[in-house]
Chains A and B, each alone.
Chain A
Amino acid sequence: MDFIIEGIRKAFHLIFTLDSEIFSIVLLSLRVSLTAVILASLLGVYLGFLMAVKDYWGKRFSVALVNTLLALPTVVIGLIVYSLVSRKRGPLGIFGLLYTPSAMIIGQFILAVPIIIALTHSAVQGIDKRVRNTALTLGATEAQSAWMVIKEARYAVLAAVITGFGRVIAEVGAAMMLGGNIKGSTRVMTTAIALESTKGEFGFAIALGIILLFVAFSINILLHYFQSKRV
């Protein structure tokens, strides 16, 4: 028991003294995950929107596929991206991405895209069909009416993006396999927690755990806020 209490005491000490190593890890986590989610949102919101409003061949299949991808294990993403960016052997090896934050961003991007597509799809589907017609009758171009639909779905779309962020900030499999947990370069909160606890550095691990929980908590508060703004 003592080591847990000691760990918690040390954790608060590290947090309140603004330990530089802890905070560089937190900042890297945020940078990697935010970049991944912003890129994933650009693609995911667009595709989710198209899937909701367009009629195309294979629509049901694509919806089923995206829903399946929601359950994609992070280690499988790690494996796929690893094999692609693996130096020397992988088809994208020449870019030298393995064990860099870029590789982690790619992994987290792949993780977040299906979530954002699926949630945007259902958000836009839930939007009244009259939005588009109303915009058109008021003189909107096709693009302007599409933008109005997204705007009407704004809270739900934001919730989709935040859910994607919550997923990637907390994942460990892809970050470990693609980043390699290199100190000062690719060590993020989750991989650091995994490593430090096996090393017996509980204070450090618990400090990161608390911050991660705090991030998760903030995300949920935001989500709740945006969901309550709907209707």
Chain B
Amino acid sequence: MDKLIFKVRNIKKVYNNKIVLDVHNLNFQEGKIYAIVGPNGSGKTTLLNILNLLEKADEGQIFFYDQEITNKSNSDILEIRRRITLVNQNPFLFNSTVYDNIAYGLKIRSISPKVQKSKIRSALNIVGLSDFEDRKANQLSGGEAQRVVIARALVIEPEVLFLDEPTANIDQKHIDVVERIIKKIKEEIKTTVIFSTHDLSQAYRLADEVISLLDGKIIKQVPENLLQGEIVEENGLKRFKTMGNIKFAIVSKKVGLAYISIDPRDIILSYEQFQSSARNSFLGKITKIIEQNHLVKLEIDISIPLVVIITRESFFEMNLNLGSKVYLTFKASAVKLY
């Protein structure tokens, strides 16, 4: 099971003079589940599209098993394209029935209608939509559509299944369903799965290996509370402005676009705002509570979500609940700059 299905060597992709992907050495083994994590704009989709032969890299080489596929024309790689498939973020369903949608990949492979039928049945079974065959595609909910799209990909029995942010646009109930489907694919079909996500804990829940991308480069690990934004100067002080227009006091020499992260252990929670040397203090609402051994991980909405980790003792002592309003306080020097 340790055969390399994909090898990536020194791949570079440039859009508008900006390097969006710069990957030196990356291997994917047969039969494993890989998660590619990183914030929006980190190059996840570009990497998936290049591996899927939908986009060409500007430099470097890609090997599928031992065959180089870097600069092949579309018709040369048709045979390889047919052994892999990608489920896009914002999945698209053809304007017909669920059955016809799933049948498409089989039809273009000239598979007989009878075989098509049994394959479609079992694909729908895996995603738990057995009685959806005759439904019109445009009448499905977002979560149902996502499952149909996964069935449509599975039915062609790909050797590698790529999923681009499979849970980005669906509700929590369907996120759980999709995660179960991914686990099932690994256990029952043993297809290699490569999916992207910006949810770090999802990546670790599902994947055998996690690949972290930041700014197009592979980094050791994506930290929690990674935010993209801009460093601006106000009255001689440097501030980091997030996409959600929240401003953090930071310590920085430069200005301009940047990534920052805040270690969730460096954030202090309190019910009252208190005077201290820490430069950052925000009121937020607890939206998620996850217990991890002797620690508790909280997701707190300060108009952007921040993760805070505290001990179980503090958690119970403060009597925190979902919806509790608390102040988050951290030093300017706790904000790490990239």
Interface residues on B, range: 20 to 34
Name the interface residues of A124-150: CB closer than 8 Å to any CB of B: 128, 130-131, 133-142, 144, 148
Minimum distance in angstroms from B79 CB to a CB of chain A = 9
Name the interface residues of A144-161: CB closer than 8 Å to any CB of B: 144, 148, 151-152
Pair B94/A152 contact, Cβ less than 8 Å: yes
Pair B78/A135 contact, Cβ less than 8 Å: no
Give chain B's interface secondary structure class. loop
The residues of B with any CB-CB pair to A shorter than 8 Å are 52, 54, 74-75, 78, 81-82, 85-88, 90, 92, 94-95, 104-105, 108-109, 138, 152-153, 156
For B90, the chain A residues whose CB sits under 8 A away are 130
A140-B54 contact given A130-B92, A131-B92, A134-B92, CB 8 Å threshold: no
Chain B: CB-nearest residue to A154: B95
The listed residue with most A CB atoms (<10 A of its CB), out of B88, B95, B153, is B95
Pair A133/B88 contact, Cβ less than 8 Å: yes
For A135, the chain B residues whose CB sits under 8 A away are 104, 108
For B81, the chain A residues whose CB sits under 8 A away are 136-137, 139
Identify which of A128, A133, A142 contacts B54 (C-beta below 8 A).
Answer: A133
Identify which of B88, B92, B94, B109 contacts A139 (C-beta below 8 A).
Answer: B109
Pair B52/A137 contact, Cβ less than 8 Å: yes
The residues of A with any CB-CB pair to B shorter than 8 Å are 128, 130-131, 133-142, 144, 148, 151-152, 231
Q: Which 8 pairs of residues, A with B, have the shortest CB-CB distance?
A: A130-B92, A139-B82, A138-B105, A137-B86, A134-B92, A144-B108, A140-B108, A137-B85
Pair A137/B108 contact, Cβ less than 8 Å: no
24 contacts between A and B (CB under 8 A): A131-B92, A131-B94, A133-B54, A134-B92, A135-B108, A136-B54, A136-B81, A137-B87, A137-B88, A138-B104, A138-B153, A139-B78, A139-B81, A139-B85, A139-B105, A139-B108, A140-B108, A141-B75, A141-B78, A141-B108, A142-B74, A142-B75, A148-B94, A148-B104
Please report the C-alpha to C-alpha distance between residue A155 and residue B108 in the assembled complex, in whole angstroms.
22
For A130, the chain B residues whose CB sits under 8 A away are 88, 90, 92
For A136, the chain B residues whose CB sits under 8 A away are 54, 81
Pair A138/B85 contact, Cβ less than 8 Å: yes
Chain B: CB-nearest residue to A140: B108
Please report the C-alpha to C-alpha distance between residue A139 and residue B109 in the assembled complex, in whole angstroms.
8
Pair A137/B82 contact, Cβ less than 8 Å: no
Pair B156/A139 contact, Cβ less than 8 Å: yes
Please report the C-alpha to C-alpha distance between residue A160 and residue B86 in the assembled complex, in whole angstroms.
33
For A152, the chain B residues whose CB sits under 8 A away are 94-95
For A128, the chain B residues whose CB sits under 8 A away are 92
A138-B156 contact given A131-B92, A131-B94, A148-B94, CB 8 Å threshold: yes
